[in-house]
Structure 1
Amino acid sequence: MNDDPHVQRAARLDTAALSDALDKLGIVRQCHRVKPRDPSFRMAGRAWTLLYGPAGSPPGTVGDYIDDVPPGSVIVLDNGGRDNATVWGDILTEIAHRRGIAGTVIDGICRDVALCLELNYPVFSKDHWMRTGKDRVQVEATGVPVNVGDARVSPGDIVKGDADGVVIIPKEHEARVLDTAEAIDSAEARVRAAVRGGMRLDEARKAHGYHQLQTRAS
């Protein structure tokens, strides 16, 4: 269990509420087209980042970094959205699971999906396919800002993933984003409770300010 209080707050929220909070605050950090390999996957943790580039001559390594990642982190791999070669497979899944890593997010694809499903280790990517990234891509840098699904991710940002995808909570804004998302989540719960109690949906939404929940804050 991650003992970081802001990570714990993010873990209790869904990505929809966090996305609405980001929109309200004018912060674009939704990872476009990055999806869980299984809808049951959930994760929350602070980003540990790695940037890939095309392989040189001779080619560099695809990465032996896994033992340097702190438990509870989310590994964020920027492979430039490549869909012709993977940078994550079963060896990394097994070790990450054993080390207590919270999950992996890839701007690109993964392979060996069967093991992440078996271990319930959360992997979020644009797709999966079997071809290796060896001799096709190489590590350029770790611990640097990266891009995942058109969202900037800096080391230490909170990463939250669920069935709807992945959102990034920038470290410098995380208290505001979490406060706003919790208020949105609470308002939506009151709307649902009012409807269950017999109120019309339009009346419940008006009574609890639903239409202002995602409106950009001035």
Structure 2
Amino acid sequence: MTDLADRLAACYASAVHDVLRARGYGNQVLPPSIRALDPTRRVAGEVYTISGHVDQTLSRHETLLRWAQVLSRVPGGKVLVCQPNTKAIALMGELSAQALRVKHTRGYVVDGHCRDTDFILEMGFPVFCEANTPADIVERWTYDALGDPITIGTVTIRSGDWLLGDRDGVVIIPHEVAEEVVAETEAVMGTEGEMRRAIMEGMDPERAYLKFGKF
């Protein structure tokens, strides 16, 4: 499936959204508050999910051990998508990003916050999050499921679905149609390239739309 991930990475989120919407999948975009930590980086690949909740009964050791279990147990080569069910703390930091990068994790998307951002930017690990905060998980949070369906905004995300995130935002592709959607997106991008050249050469916008059916 690496080939599909690489092909998806060469696409862009807006085109994928258009293809999904034409197929009847109109609710596949994550909230626009979830943005790339580094807007020049994109993330693409097969999804594996994480969910958790606030728990202030746990000790420092218990919270850190449980987070280490998450980093150990998630499969390599995936895009991790986390629903922490809190916006009060960071669910990604430098050492965690290093550990995931060693596992060839393709990127990390969280409906929450991140910290150690200078270090993460320096290492080039793709992270999409809502905001940044120094606050960590210690004595505050634990995971409750790995690999189960989660919801971010109004989008339900399952392990095995596919994801593309770029400067425009993050779109989720249901696994049942991933191959077809990527192929259709590649074709759409080819048509858009032809239309772009035509417009740059002076074609009238209305005529261009009628010829290519895009805008």
- Could you state the TM-score of these two structures normalised by the residue count of structure 2? 0.89
Partner letter of residue 52 of structure 1?
G
Contact 1:49/1:76 (8 A) holds in 2? yes
Distance 2:196 2:175 in 1: 31
Q: Is this contact kept in 2: 1:34–1:149, CA < 8 A?
A: no
- For residue 52 of structure 2, what is the aligned residue in structure 1? 52
Return 5+ residue gaps in structure 1 as ranges: 212-218
CA 1:149–1:116 in structure 2 vs 1: closer, same or farther (change >3 Å)? farther
Aligned partner of residue 23 in structure 1, secondary structure: helix
Is the Cα contact below 8 Å between 1:88 and 1:110 reproduced in 2?
A: yes
**Aligned mate of 1:24, from 22, 25, 29:** 22
Name the SS of the counterpart of 1:205 in structure 2. helix
Looking at structure 1, the residues matched to 87 and 147 of structure 2 have their Cα atoms a distance apart, in angstroms, of: 23
- The answer for the alignment partner of 1:124 in structure 2 is 128
- Structure 1 residues 6-63: Cα deviation after superposition (integer angstroms, max 9, x where no partner): 2222111001101111221221211112110111111211111111112163466352
Q: Shift of residue 92 of structure 1?
A: 0.3
Whose strand proportion is higher, 1 or 2?
1
SS in 2 for 1:9: helix
The aligned runs of 1:1-218 (5 Å cut-off) are 4-27=2-25, 28-32=27-31, 33-55=33-55, 57-58=57-58, 61=63, 63-64=67-68, 65-80=70-85, 82-210=86-214
Q: C-alpha separation between the residues in 2 aligned to 1:43 and 1:112?
A: 19
Do the aligned partners of 1:107 and 1:147 also contact (CA within 8 Å) in 2? no
CA separation in 1, counterparts of 2:174 and 2:4? Answer: 12
Aligned to 1:63, what secondary structure does the other structure show? Answer: helix
Structure 2 unmatched runs, 5+: none
Q: Describe the superposition over 1:157-192 as per-residue Cα deviations: whole angstroms up to 9, x where unpaired.
A: 111111112111110121332233223222211210
On the 8 A contact 1:56/1:138 being kept in 2, the answer is: no
